[in-house]
Amino acid sequence: MLKQRPQPEPVDRVFRALADPNRRILVERLSHGPASVSELAQPLPMSLPAVVQHLQVLQASGLVRSEKVGRVRTCRIEPAALRPVERWIAARRSAWERRLDRLGNYLTESSEEPKEGKP
């Protein structure tokens, strides 16, 4: 079957980007609207360079994009970047539910009288 090491995918970078609570706070803030780097940094208990580094990870994942106008860099969220992660999770959820359905059917059938094969 699968004998090759899978290539890193965008979904890896999105999961990794979201594994840090401070990066999730940045995404939460940007979900409500665009913000400058200093607006994003202001409430966070870390240095501006640390915030910039987190923003770089978010940009590399595709979740955030930024634009510099004059001296102000404005960041905004890219909701589409979350889609592969949403799809992956939804596929797992649906596999689990199908499995539970099959298990339910099996238990129902086993508790009924054995039947001859119907056409």
Q: Which residues bind a second copy (CB under 8 A)?
A: 1-9, 11-13, 15-16, 18-22, 24-25, 27-28, 31-33, 43-46, 77, 79, 82, 85-86, 88-89, 92-93, 95-96, 99
- Smallest gap from residue 115 Cβ to a second copy (A): 25
- Smallest gap from residue 18 Cβ to a second copy (A): 5
In whole angstroms, give the CA distance from residue 108 to residue 75.
54
Residue 118 tokens read as 């119907």
Residue 85 tokens read as 């992660």
Per the document, the length of the chain is 119
Q: Note whether 91 and 81 are within 8 A (CB).
A: no
Q: Note whether 74 and 34 are within 8 A (CB).
A: yes
Rank residues 32 and 118 by Cβ distance to a second copy and give the closer one: 32
Rank residues 22 and 114 by Cβ distance to a second copy and give the closer one: 22
